[in-house]
Amino acid sequence: MPLEQVSQNASFGGQLTKYKTTSQSLGGLETQFNVFLPAEAAKGPVPVLYYLAGLTCTEDTGAQKGGFLRDAAAEGIALVFPDTSPRGAGVEGEDKDWDFGTGAGFYINSTADKYSKHYNMYDFVVRELPSLLSELPINTARASIMGHSMGGHGALTLYLRTLGDKKYASASAFAPISNPVKAPWGEKAFGGYLAGGVEEGKEYDATELIKKAKGDPKILIDVGTGDQFYQQKQLLPENFIEAAKTAGFSESQVQVNLHDKYDHSYWFISTFGPAHVKFHANILKSEPKL
C-alpha cells in the first residue's frame, strides 16, 4: 500500500513526517508511524534506527519525549517510530486493560484464533515496515533497533530472532522486559496472544533467545534501579545478564548498565538516549554492508 503523509515538521535541519498506511500484517488495519530524516537524506539513502515504544504508547511517544532527533541529526541517521499495536481490530476485550490489547502488541505474531488476524506487530516491524520505507531515502539494509520496556523486549527479541539474517546491526533497550515468560506482563500477553501460551512465548523471550544466540551480538541495555517495574520483577535484567554470560558472551557484546535512582519514565530514557544513538551510529557507520 502507498504511504499517505499525515503531517510534516521541520526539526534539527531535517524533518519528522507522520505517515499512515493500510497494513497487511495487521489484517488490513490502518497504522501510523513517524519517520525522522536528517539533512543528509537529501543527498542519498541514510542508515536507520527503529524505536519501539512501551505499553500504552503510540508512534508519537518516543518521537516527542525521547530526545533522539537531536542525536540522529548529528549522526546523519534516520529514525522510525512505529505504533505499539494494531488499533481498531474490534477484538472483544482488547480495550479492557492497559497492559494487553490496544497499545500492548508485544511485537509478536499472534497464533491464538482471536488475535491472529490483527496482532502481528512482529511481521509489521520486521518485514512490512522496511518495504514501506523503500520509497524514502533510507537504506533499510543498514538498520539498528532500540526500544523501551515492552519495546525494549521488542528490540531485543526482533534482533535476536533475526541475528542470522543480520536484519539489524545492533540492538539496545531502556528498561526492557528481559524475561517475559517469568514476568506478569509477559505471562498475560503470551497467554492471550499465543495458542501455545507462555511455553510458545519462549520464542519471544530475550533471555531464552540469548541462550541459543550464535555470532557476535551487539547489545546495550540501561535500567534504573529506582524503576518501580524493575522492583516489581517485570523487567528481570539479571536473568538476561546471567543467560548471556552462561552462553559465553562478553560484556562488549552484551552490555547491561544499572543506574541508581532512575525510574521507568522518559526522564530516564532521554538521559541515556544520546549514548544509545551513539552506540548504534558507530556500528551503522563503521560496519561493512550487511
Residue 226 interacting with a copy of itself (CB under 8 A): yes
Q: How far is CA 3 from the centre of its chain?
A: 21
Among 105, 201, 224, 237, binds a copy of itself (CB under 8 A): 224
The residues, ordered by sequence, that sit 6+ positions from 29 with a Cβ below 8 Å of its Cβ are 22, 23, 86, 87, 88, 89, 118
The residue among 27 and 226 lying less far from a copy of itself, judged by its C-beta, is 226
Spatial contact of 45 and 137, defined as CB atoms under 8 Å apart: yes
Active site residue 259: no
- Strand ranges (DSSP E) for the chain? 4-11, 14-23, 29-37, 46-52, 78-82, 138-148, 171-174, 219-224, 254-259
Q: Length of the chain in residues, anyone? A: 290
The residue among 18 and 218 lying less far from a copy of itself, judged by its C-beta, is 18
Region 59-118 residues binding a copy of itself, contact defined as CB under 8 A: 64-65, 67, 69-70
What binding mask, one character per residue, do residues 263-282 give for a copy of itself by CB under 8 A, x or -? x-xxxx-xx--x--------
The residue among 15 and 21 lying less far from a copy of itself, judged by its C-beta, is 15
Residue 258 interacting with a copy of itself (CB under 8 A): no
The residue among 253 and 265 lying less far from a copy of itself, judged by its C-beta, is 265
Strand pairing of 171-174 and 219-224?
Answer: parallel
Among residues 144, 149, 170, 178, which one is catalytic? 149
How far, in Å, CA of 218 to CA of 204, rounded? 18
Region 8-27 residues binding a copy of itself, contact defined as CB under 8 A: 9-13, 15-16
Active site residue 252: no
CA end-to-end distance (rounded Å), the chain: 27
Active site residue 264: yes
- The contact set with a copy of itself (CB under 8 A) reads 9-13, 15-16, 64-65, 67, 69-70, 224, 226, 261-263, 265-268, 270-271, 274
